[in-house]
Structure formats: structure tokens, C-alpha cells
Amino acid sequence: MKRRTFRLLFATTVLVGITLGAFAIPAPPRAPSDAWATDRLTGCRVVDGDTLNCEGERIRLLAIDAPEKAGTCRPGRKCAPGDPVASAASLQAAMRGTLTIERLGQDRYGRTLALVRSSRGDLSCWQLSRRQAVYRKDWDDANRVARLCPDALPAAHR
């Protein structure tokens, strides 16, 4: 009887140890190369030509500045030229298929700064290639957008 109790206790201890161990093992860090594959966005709508709202998360596309809606360009700020309605429509047209995100930080307004991709490619590159936004080198974290779509940039930034 003692031997049976010992075996049962030992088996229970092993199972509990394995179960707890499985929860204690941290997931391996995600490599940058699979960031596109793992972070999916849902419930997204276009706020303007460079900003999305995805289920309450405000997302600012990296390194671009799109035309502001009428009356929203702060005094003293040089706002991007162009038609804000056309810029927003262009961004909406790019949002096809699964949207994925690489979050890079936050701006001073609390928006997520990110690279966002759809089946049509990177959304910052999409807006630049269609001239619906201007490239801002000073907003380009580690020249990510410049490296993603050099042909969409003005010659001065290539």
C-alpha cells in the first residue's frame, strides 16, 4: 500500500510540476522579421490621411504628414499641402485584406507610431507613392520608411 501511495504522489507531483513549468517558460522574443505576421489589426477606420483608429487604438503612420482637415492646422505649423478628403480616401483604398502592424512607440498625443501593412503594401509608402502625404525624415524612426519605399520619396531624401 505504501508503494502505491508513493507512486500516486510521485505521479501527481510530476504532472503538477510539468503543468506549472509550462506556464513558467517565457515565450521566445519575437524577431523583427515576423512582426508583420503576428500583430493583426481589426476594426480599423481612417481618421485622416495619416491616422487610423483600430478598435480605440489611435495609430499614426510613420514618417508621413497628410493634409489636415479644414480648420485643424494649428497656427504656426506648416501643414502638408493637398486635399484632406482625397488623402483619406486614398488611405481607405489601401486598407485591403489583413492589416498588420509593427508598433514603434507613441507620439506626444498618445497615438501609436507604427508601420502598418495591408495586402497592398506598407500604408505610409502607399500614401507617398500616390502623393497623398509628404515624407518627414525627422519623423522616420531609423529611416524605416526610406528603406521600405525609396522610389516613393522625393529625390532629396533618397
Q: Which residues are within 8 A (CB) of 46 and not within 5 positions of it... i.e. 6 or more apart?
A: 52, 88, 91, 92, 95
The per-residue pLDDT for 116 is 98
CA distance 155 to 82: 19
Model confidence band, residue 7 (pLDDT cutoffs 50, 70, 90): low
- The sign one gets for the Cα dihedral 134, 136, 141, 145 is positive
The per-residue pLDDT for 40 is 95
pLDDT-above-90 percentage for the chain: 65
The per-residue pLDDT for 11 is 52
pLDDT-above-70 percentage for the chain: 74
Is residue 145 pLDDT above 80, yes or no? yes
- Per-residue pLDDT tens digits for 125-144: 999 999 999 999 999 999 99
Q: Which domains does the chain have, with CATH numbers?
A: 39-153 (2.40.50.90)
Query: Which candidate, 118, 99, 107, places its Cα nearest to that of 54?
Result: 99
pTM of the model: 0.74
Decide if 139 contacts 65 (C-beta within 8 A). yes
End-to-end CA distance of the chain: 80
